[in-house]
Structure 1
Amino acid sequence: MIRGRKRKPLNSGTYGCVPVRPVLPVRTLAAIDADGVVGSAGITTRSGRRLHRKAMRAAERERLSWDSELGQQAPKTSEDTEGRERLPMTTSTNMGWVRYAPKIPWHMASVSESGMLSPLGVSGWPRLEGPVIGHSVINGNVWRFDAWSPYRYDGTSVNGWIIGTMGSGKSTLLKAFTTRETTSPWNRQVLIEGDPKGEWAAVALANGGQVVEVGNGRYLNPLDVAEKPAAVTDEDWASTVFGLRVGALESIASVLRKGRVFDPGERAVVSAALAELQRRTAVPTVAGLTDLLDSEWKQRVTVRGMQRSQVERTASDLTIIYNTLVEGDLKGGFERESTVDLDPSAPMIVFNTGSVGSGEDLRKRLYNACMNSAVDRLCYSHDGRFRIIVAEEGYELLQDPALVKAWQKRMRLCGDLGTSSWMLMHELQDIEKFAPEGSDHLKQIKSILTLSGVQIIYSQSPASLKAMGSILGDDLSETELLTIEQLPAHWGLWRVGKQIRDVVQADMGREAFQLFRTDANRAG
């Protein structure tokens, strides 16, 4: 479009142009192969078939040449996929830098064969708003996404998950997505709930964020709370704070007891002890709670529905559990008042668990439980900020029923809290290890997966594809399964709500790619 009162070309400044491609119906697109060559089923003449074979050979030579130039692996093909339909994909751009206006695949087709209802259809901007993430490898469109754009589009849930095998590009995509969400005009705050590999710390610092670490004299009290929001009454805030603290204590106990949450008696005793502790001190701590449970208080307190002997026995059992943080081998991070202050204005806060050894599974799960409480403290502050919460190692969180319960609750309250929760996992078959079939724990895990409005799927093993089909059911089509099976590295299938399906590659410059990548040392 030419601007100006007389519609004359500009003699200064710049023009903005958008590359476009013809739009074909989805059913027809699914019949076009990766090079854009229409299958020969509809060609009836001998000369037409000869021309088609010639075009196929030319397209294959061009594809091989283009793949060689980019150093990019072409989508996989196999004999067992012949005759089955997958989403069409063009040749991708190389990771690490961007070729603007990716090459349009050569193909030949008549108007009737292509199924177009008009001589030319032109693709416009994608239907979702947000910062630029990359481009569609189906049609070359710029792909934009903001965590709240699915809801603005058609009411889809703002929560999501990403899965992919090692080296598939899922972490790179997540870093690009969250980093761009912190920029204006979106201004989202990103909370990384656990960073076991220490790879998010550099990303946060490069974006002016905060890295939270505990140990070596640094403490983060899981019973801390934020300041009371002005719009919330004292009574309602006191109830919210009490519930958050009981939830934090239950998560810690669940981790230390390998997934066993509070029974009614334990919850009653902990609630009574916490109420007493709140009357005695402004800032309760795990150490203070442990001392109270081990004192003469347990002999004097009355808990409705429990005999005194039951109260004493329950208090003693809880003392043993929480004392692990106070005097046991897990001390030194969460039992005292906080010496680490969270910065609610930071664009990105990373809770670094990279200092935990790879063999210290119990300590790692304890870190996740306590840092989940710190995330809740920020979210329940109702300070007007919109927050994207990322569980970098989703399988660690899913192992614990209390953490699953807390995550599911945050998903349900996303509208009230202003949160968008995202979980990163390797493969869906992993969930079979976390809970027995038919258990409430497994049902809650599956509800997290099925109720998430955005699902981004990178390459998967055959076993995981089978599990995915079982979990997602009829919502996952045969075409999508075949597409996932043939995804090369850094291509992901985006499933947004019930309507939007696309294969997307994140675009970024060299500097960003080096910052985001996690595979630099895998080749040896």
Structure 2
Amino acid sequence: MARSAFVFEPGDLDRNGRRALRREVAAASRNGSPTPSTRRERALPEPAVAGAFGPGIAEGGYWNLGAAVVPAHQATSQHIAGIYPFVADAGLGHAGPIVGVDLNADALWHFSPWDAYADTSDRGTFSTNVLVLGAYRSGKSATVKTLVTRSIAFGHCAVVPSDAKGEWVAVAEAIPGGTVIRLGGGTTARLNPLDRGPRRTSATDEQHEQMVKQRRIATLISLVQMALGGTRLTAVEHAAIHDALHRCITATRDMPTLRGVYEQLGIIVADQAGDFRLAEAAVQPRFVLRRFVDGDLSGLFEDESTVSFDEQAPIVVVDTSELFARGDLVAQLTQVCTTAWIQAVVSDRSARRTRYVIREEGWRDMTSLASLQMYQQWLKLSRHYGISNIVILHKMGDLDAVGEADSQERNLAYSIVGDIENKFIFRSNHQEQQALGQRLNMPAPHVEMARQLRKGEFIAYVGQYSYLVDCFSTSTPWEFDLFQTDDALSPGAPDDPFTSGELDSLWPEVTEPAQGRAAADADLDGWLNTMKEMS
């Protein structure tokens, strides 16, 4: 800061004297020498000893006029954020794994849905679920994989009920202890969606039985309605399915299967002495379940499970990529069955585990009123079971496949998605502007920003606050190779920071198989330790 000079002109100087004094002051200023002053001839004597208030102020004395020096302003980031709210941001803190960089605060951005839920400040949230929305090739999958994989180092687990593209298989195989369950493609693995699941120690016998019964009947109703194109079942058809399920439970000693329910529906249809209305209502559900017993879905879900869910595994992936190639309806039926089987296992509060449940193509779980109601109930109970559902959608228009326009099903689907408090919004298309504003209540500047986001960047809504985050899922070559989803994330793509040659030089252990599995495991252990230290 420039020093200011104070010049005093004696009152008895004439005009020529004042001019001479001013010329002398101007010349001294240009030469950088001390400014002369005639005040010394008339000023009081300088204090001999400096006072407690500084070198120029005497104890009980007077001010010694001199240069004014103002120190620079210093404050904490909390106070600076109040002065410059769009430049300095306090962020979410340092709880949870590092996901990326907060572009507004120029700081690392950490996120954990459980830590955000436990936060009692105004930056906390009331839900552990996350909506991930963005166009193709916007970096959604890589970001979710980054969050989930790094969260394993913090003790969290993950499960993918239906991996339609097979992209999570590589993640599960790379993580020590990860489990992959493959369906179709010549495998003999079967999942029974009517499994009872583990006993909840915190529930009474009556509560436990009621929850198991509701989950089983909801699964059956969802399968039948979905196969019938979303047609709602009548009260008599509901009664027929309830009756068949009850008979199957009794006949199998509480080990019902889709094959057993199919056979009991056949008995109801052939019962000439029974209620003819119930016999007629059992025909449609029986034809639907026939697909699982003798049709294109046979050998997958109709009998008892041949595989078990490893509750100790850090990540469990159900690979359904072979089945999704058979069409949308097969994909939807498959996703209902696998999700019901997973929910029967992970909805155990007494296990004291926190899990991510990644729902790829989340709209497939919401294609009928029964599945929507089951989906909504599952999202509401996520906090109770320590679960964070990650619902991934390409666009809000995906929900237009649910029911007719202005129908109860479609409105409920939009309501479910809109109620998810934590949202990661990636690059969106121009057609999504209206839907983002109306369905998700995004401000107009944020909607416009969403159209201009680069790959890997997203707007994160956590509770009442929003953040602009750039996910660096390729911070190490190991992650780069692991999180690539398709050709958009393959080495050498135009937007990628590394080429295949650079990866070879940076980390030959990953790109050269000859290094062996031991080297890869050692690198993974080192990476997990590094993530813990960084956080």
Instruction: With the length of structure 2 as denominator, give the TM-score of the two structures.
Output: 0.70
Match in the other structure for 1:423: 391
Equivalent residues in 2 for 1:421-500 (5 A)?
421-472=389-440, 475-500=441-466
- The Cα shift of 1:339 comes to 0.6
Task: Tell me how many residue pairs correspond in the alignment.
Answer: 400
Equivalents in 2 of 1:212, 1:327: separation in Å? 23
Task: Give the residue type in structure 2 aligned to 1:477.
Answer: P
Mapping of residues 326-475 of structure 1, within 5 Å: 326-382=293-349, 383-472=351-440, 475=441
Deviations 1:474-514 (A, max 9, x none): x3112211211211111111111222333332343111121
C-alpha separation in 1, matches of 2:91 and 2:439:
33
Which structure is higher in RCO with an 8 Å CA cutoff and minimum separation 6?
A: 1
**Shift of the alpha carbon at 1:519?**
2.9
1:325-352 superposed Cα distances (whole Å, 9 cap, x missing partner): 1012221100011111111111111111
> What amino acid maps onto 1:176 in structure 2?
T
Aligned to 1:231: 202
The residue that corresponds to 1:289 in the other structure is 261
Corresponding residue of 1:245: 216
2:100, 2:469 within 8 Å by CA — same for their partners in 1? no
Matches of 1:481 and 1:131, distance apart in 2: 27
CA RMSD of superposed structures (Å): 2.4
For the residues of structure 2 that align with 1:122 and 1:139, how far apart are their CA atoms?
Answer: 5
Please give the per-residue CA displacement for 1:343-369, whole angstroms capped at 9, x wherever unaligned: 111111111111125352222111101
Q: CA deviation at 1:311?
A: 0.5
CA distance 1:260–1:150, change in 2 (3 Å): farther
Matched to 1:205, the amino acid is E
Give deviations 1:4-24, integer Å, cap 9, x for gaps: xxxxxxxxxxxxxxxxxxxxx
2:168 counterpart of 1:197: no
Could you tell me how far 1:122 is from its partner in structure 2? 7.1
The C-alpha deviation readout for 1:369-403, integer Å capped at 9, x for no partner, is 10111121123333221221111112333334433
Q: 5+ unaligned residues in a row in structure 2: which ranges? A: 1-79, 495-535
Please give the alpha-carbon distance, in whole angstroms, between the structure 2 residues aligned to 1:261 and 1:212: 33
Tell me the equivalent position of 2:150.
180
Q: Which amino acid aligns with 2:362?
A: G
Of 131, 152, 155 in structure 1, the residue corresponding to residue 118 of structure 2 is 152
2:227 to 241, 251, 256: 256
2:54 maps to which residue?
A: none
2:288 and 2:92 mapped to 1: Cα distance?
53
Structure 1 Cα separation of the partners of residues 439 and 281 of structure 2: 39
Match of 1:161 in 2: 131
User: What is the correspondence of 1:45-194 to structure 2 with a 5 Å cutoff?
Assistant: 117=83, 126-127=92-93, 129-153=95-119, 154-184=124-154, 187-194=155-162
Retained in 2: the 8 A contact 1:126–1:141? no
1:219 offset after TM fit, Å? 0.9
Matching residue's letter, 2:118: R
What's the counterpart of residue 217 of structure 1?
Answer: 188
Matches of 1:255 and 1:299 in 2, distance apart? 27
Shift of 1:115: 10
SS at match of 2:164: coil
- Residues of 2 paired with 1:407 and 1:495: CA distance? 22
**Secondary structure at the residue paired with 1:356?**
helix
Cα pair distance change 1:175/1:518, threshold 3 Å: same
Instruction: Within 5 Å, give how 1:16-35 maps onto structure 2.
Output: none
Percentage identity across paired residues of the two chains: 26
Q: Distance in 2 between matches of 1:349 and 1:499?
A: 32
Q: Tell me the SS of whatever aligns to 2:142.
A: helix
1:94-146: CA deviations, max 9, x gaps? xxxxxxxxxxxxxxxxxxxx99849xx97666336211111112222111011
Q: Specify the code of the residue in structure 2 equivalent to 1:413.
A: L
Q: Distance in 2 between matches of 1:142 and 1:378?
A: 35
CA deviation vs aligned residue, 1:209-238 (integer Å, no higher than 9, x gap)? 111222332211111121212232222211
Gaps of 5+ in 1: 1-113, 303-307
Q: Give the TM-score of the pair, scaled to structure 1.
A: 0.72
State the match for 1:86 in structure 2. none
Aligned to 2:287: 320
Counterpart of 1:510 in structure 2 is: 477
Question: 1:288, 1:416 → 2: CA distance?
Answer: 32
Instruction: Select between 284-293 and 411-420 the one with higher mean Cα deviation.
Output: 411-420
Q: Give the conservation status (yes or no) of the 8 Å contact 1:221–1:338.
A: yes
Q: Look up the equivalent residue of 1:331 and give its one-letter code.
A: S
Cα distance in 1 for residues equivalent to 2:228 and 2:347? 27
